[in-house]
Structure formats: structure tokens, C-alpha cells
Amino acid sequence: MSKNSNAETQIDGYRWQKPCGEDTGIQIYNHTVRGKVPLVLRNPHVVTWYTCGPTVYDKTHVGHASTYVKVDIIQRILRDYFKYNLVTAMNITDVDDKIIKRSRETGRNWLELAQAFAAEFKLDMHRLNVKPPNLRAHVSANIATIQLFIEQLLATQQAYVSQDNSVYFDVASCASYGKLEKLLQLQESNPQSSGKRTAADFALWKAKKEGEAAQQDEPSWEASWGGVGRPGWHIECSAIAGKFFGRQLDIHAGGLDLRFPHHENEEAQCCAHYETDQWVNYWLHTGQLHLVGDEHKMSKSRGNTISVEEMLTKYTADEFRMACLLSNYRNAMPYGDSLMITARQTLRKFKNFHADLSAYMQFQKPLKLLDEGALQAQLKHTMLEFDNSLRDDFDTARALAVLMDQMSSISRCINEQQSDAEQEPAYCLDLLLAAGNFIGNAMQNFGITPFDQQQQEQLNPTTDINALIGDLLAVRRQLREKAIGESVIQNRQMLAVCDQLRDLLQRHGFQVRDHKHGSSWTLVEQKSASSSA
């Protein structure tokens, strides 16, 4: 890899042009150069971001969900942690061959079918706590924009009309075509058999075939170059993203399987349309999710899918998000009970730390002699390493490890057995709270539901559970204290009653945590039918 004076990075004959603007100090993986490059923003403190949306012909499965959750995590990091002004957009592909095929199979109107699955997709994203984009556009509502885009490519002779009035992009007119996939040469094809000049040329507009004429309810629109038809897949994203962001875009995201041909073709179309060598400055691709034991990605065509709705009957949205956090966003994600149980256990560590620290701050645990200097140094180290992790291509797995190291250290301090000392403990509650706040804020920045809110959301809104459990624990505490002054037999009996009350609460979903000067409680983790974790 080498850099020239024009801030270009070249590999295998292709160049990535470093934008002029604000260097964020963040390194992001670049598929063109196969390495990390600095994230530079054209407009100070503003990030423009486009994500390829779903093709709405079926239920959303967890393979789709992993992409959108990972994208949401990175967007939250930029927006909520680094405090950048993020402007986001997404398309909804509701005109597509797969939708037409499903419409024929089910006998449902194509638009009605697409609208139903689009609504379900939005609901699933809400369930997964994925923030909606600032801008969202359906292909069916943007046909005029797409046709205008095609007309301009035809006017500059970078696209051509075939005999059946389909329109193809002339890949030979794009000198940098193949820069994402590293294509070395383009294969020739017989234009008489396919209507294309080369095999690599791709459809911008698909003319309606004669056999489709009877299908009056299928999507088709009149075109200025003749005939009727519908847009191709790649042009839909290019035209919609261009409508929102114009001739240059900071970040364009999608699954790794979209890198070629979809993103390659998007880049080629827009470079031609806007007369630029680089339309997207940073392509961000998420690794594919696959079932454990299945080397193929999860896809509807293979029938190896698990719907978001089905997944949420076994695991929570926070557990699925934690699984995504534990995986580098660019890596493949092996989905199964093992991964999800690990995610559940990791989330439980954060919940237990929050509960223990809250109990300590309410003086339900004895105060300890703490080293103020050591706590200050550790908090500073945690904040620095956490920041470095996220600046290194959004390494959330490493960031979580940093947080867990801090939690382990504090937990040892406040939970270790220590004889009561006559001298006054060091005044370090502020530092413990500062560390707890940093960890809690970091988890919220990742999109994990605040732990207090998680408990409240599972409760009956008409019941003051805090007061109820508090009263029960107060009675239990009185029994425990009284047992200390009674005979051995009475002592055992009263402590047994205390244990029964604790077990009773646990059966109803409340886990009691005993401390030296009182007790606290958390909700018992929900468990899947197939797991006892």
C-alpha cells in the first residue's frame, strides 16, 4: 500500500481518495484498500449515512436483524458517544422480482404484500431497539426520480437501450468498475442473445415482457425511451441515495453479501452520473450471520431462517444486541444457543454489577477502605482504553472487555470480606459512582436498555413493586436480626423461614441479594425453553 501527494491510497491499480475535511481520529476499514483508513468528514461534525433497506417480500429474519442492529450500534457510537450530527437514510425495496414472484404464488396484490411486510419490518426494528433513519423512501414512490437518473445516463451515453426497451449500464464506460470486488477483466457476451454488450452490464430498467402483459396488477410504468417496465435493483438505491445526498456520501452501509454486485454497481452508476471518481467515501459492510453448523449465510432462498419474532420468544432484544456487540461487525456471526447464552451471561454480569453498586451506595454493604489514587488511575485508564477501542474501527468486543475489567476490579473492592476497622473509610463513593455512570452510559450508548428500566418494563404498571418488595425484605430482615438473639433451635427455624421467603420471591421472578446491612433485589433472568442458563 502506498500514498501519494494527493492523499490517495492505491492498491491493485485502484485508488481511494482521502476526503478533505475534519479528521475524526477514528480508523475505519476500507474495502477498496483492504485496510483501515482515517475517517474524515467533508462537513465539520456532520456524518451523512445511507443504509440499504430490506426487500419486503417476507418476514424479517435474524440474518437481516444482525446487519441492522450492528449498523445501529455504530451509528449510536458516532451519534451518542462521539457526538457527531448523524444524518441517516434508508430505502424500502417494494418493487422487485422477488416481490412479483411472491405475489403470483400467494395471489396477493404486489403493493399490498410489500406494504404488509414493510410494516412488519418497521415493527421488528422497533422491537430490537433500532433507531429509525431520519429519511426513509419507498421505491414505488420514487419512480420519477429513478427514471430521471436513467435518462441522464442515457444522455451521456453511459447507458443504452436494448431492442426490447430495457436499459443497461455500460460498464466499459466506467474506468474504475470493480474497485470493491477487485475484478480484473470483464467477460464478453453475445449481445444478440442477451441484449447486453458485455456480461457485466447490468439492468437499470427491465422492460415488461410480452408474457407479462396479462398481469395487469404487477408493477410497471411508462418510460420516455419507449415501452413500459420497472427499475432494476441497483438503480433504486443509487437514485434514492442521490436524491438525499447528491454527488458525495460519507458512509454507505449494508451486508457483506451486497458488496458485489449491488454496491459495486451503485458506485459505478453514481460516479458516472455525478462525474466523480468516488461517490461513497466509506463503504461499511457487516459480516453475515449463519446458523451454527451451516456454512451458508441465513437466507430465505435456502430455507434456513429464524424470524425476529421467533427469536424474541427465546431471547430478549438486549441479549441479541449483546451478541452483536461481542462480535466484530465485519466478522461472520455463528448464531445458536451457545452464542446467545454467552450474550445472556455477559449481560447478566453488567446487571449484577449495577445491583451490587447500587446496594453499596445505599449502605446495604459495609463501606471499605479504598485507595483513592488507584481508583482514579483505573477510571482514567478505562476511559482511555474504551475510547481507543471504539476509535479502532468500532471494536465493541474490546470495549466490552475494558468495561468488564473495570467492573471486576470494583466488585472485588466492595464485595471482599474485610474485618470492620475502627478508622473511617476513605471517601471514594464519588469515584465509584463516576465509574458506574461511565459503564451505564456506555451500555446505553450501545443501545442496551437501562437496567432500572429493564426491570420496570417487566412489571405491572399498576403495582408499586419497589415498595412491595421493600416491605417484604424489611420484614425478612427483622426476622433475620431477631434470629441472632434466640436459641439455636429458634435461630434455625427463623432463618429457614427467611430462606423460604427468599425462594418464594425467586419463584415469582425476584432474585434477593443479601448484604451485611440489608438486602437488594433484581429480576430473575428469563430463560429459554431449551436452556437452563
Q: What is the pLDDT along the chain (533 residues), one digit of tens a residue?
A: 333 334 566 545 567 899 999 999 999 999 888 899 999 999 999 999 999 999 999 999 999 999 999 999 999 999 999 999 999 999 999 999 999 999 999 999 999 999 999 999 999 999 999 999 999 999 999 999 999 999 999 999 999 999 999 999 999 988 888 888 765 555 555 555 568 888 889 999 999 876 654 455 789 999 999 989 999 999 999 999 999 999 999 999 999 999 999 999 999 999 999 999 999 999 999 999 999 888 777 877 667 789 999 999 999 999 999 999 999 999 999 999 999 999 999 999 999 999 999 988 888 888 878 888 999 999 999 999 999 999 999 999 999 999 999 999 999 888 875 545 555 666 688 999 999 999 999 999 999 999 777 655 555 555 566 777 777 777 777 777 777 666 656 677 777 878 888 887 877 778 888 777 777 878 776 554 444 44
CATH topology of domain 26-334: Rossmann fold (3.40.50)
Determine the residue type at 125.
M
Q: Where are the domains of the chain?
A: 26-334
What pLDDT is recorded for position 298?
A: 82
In the prediction, which pLDDT does 14 show? 63
> What DSSP assignment string belongs to 199-258?
TT-EEEEEEPPGGGTT-TTS--EE-TTSSEEEE-HHHHHHHHHHHHHTT-EEEEEEEGGG
Q: For residue 316, what pLDDT is reported?
A: 95
pLDDT value of position 218: 83
pLDDT of 274 reads 95
User: What SS3 state is found at 167?
Assistant: strand
* pLDDT at residue 213 in the model: 45
**Cis amide bond preceding 133, omega within 30:** no
How many residues does the structure list for the chain? 533
